[in-house]
Amino acid sequence: TDISLRVDVSARALLGDVAAGGLDVAFVHEVEGCPLTVPDGLEQRVLLDREPQFISMARDHPAAARPVVDLVDLAADRWMVDPTVDGEWDGLRRVFGAAGLAPTVLHGDYLTAASLVVLGEAVAPCQPTSGPRDDMAIRPLRDDPLAVRLLLVSRPGADMTTVYGELEAAYREAARRAAGYHQWLLRNRSPLARMP
């Protein structure tokens, strides 16, 4: 079977493509506090109920010296967020409001964000499975205020079992390779930290 992949930062767009028959399955994330509307008739399976979002910062950022970063230590930083990622800006705004913070927020794509982070001009949320970089520090936030739920969504009749099994194995491997995330999984006694 020929397999093609499509990447899109919008979970809603991917879900719409599955509903319209353009895709068989979609792997999406749902920002905590910002529920996605899954079109009627689609099947869904949760890969991870709550994945913490980490923070990326310049290697020489003062907070990068610590293994876990407090949100308040990043209050004076400019934060970069991609407004086209469904729910991400709303989720971040909710977290800032709960912490009583109002940092400067820049809106742009994550390729631009990575460049600004490396230069020390901004910090940005990132996936905990992000690979290590020599020019950037990736750290968990204390108490994991930012999180997403990871979902696999398919059209009825798609072979969700096989795809889910492959996705779970790939995710476990990515989590193991990301040292900071693997340590987080161990500290939080996640079943993902165990060998399959």
Tell me the average confidence (pLDDT) per consecutive run of 10 residues in the chain, 196 residues long: 79 93 93 93 92 95 94 95 90 93 92 92 94 88 94 88 90 90 86 66
What is the C-alpha separation between 2 and 104, in angstroms, rounded? 45
Q: Could you tell me the sign of the dihedral formed by the alpha carbons of 87, 89, 90, 91, in that order? A: positive
Reported pTM:
0.89
CB 86 within 8 A of CB 10: yes
What domains can you pick out in the chain, each with its CATH number? 11-49+147-179 (no CATH), 51-139 (3.40.190.10)
Bridge pairing between strands 136-139 and 147-154: unpaired
Predicted local distance difference test score (pLDDT) of residue 1: 62
Q: How far apart are CA 73 and CA 65, in angstroms?
A: 12
Amino acid at 196: P
Record the tokens describing residue 142, joined without a space.
């204390």
Residue 28 dihedral angles phi and psi, to the nearest 5°: -130, 165
Q: Is the separation of the CB atoms in 30 and 106 below 8 Å?
A: no
Position 111 scores a pLDDT of 86
Contact (Cβ atoms closer than 8 angstroms) between residue 123 and residue 74 = yes
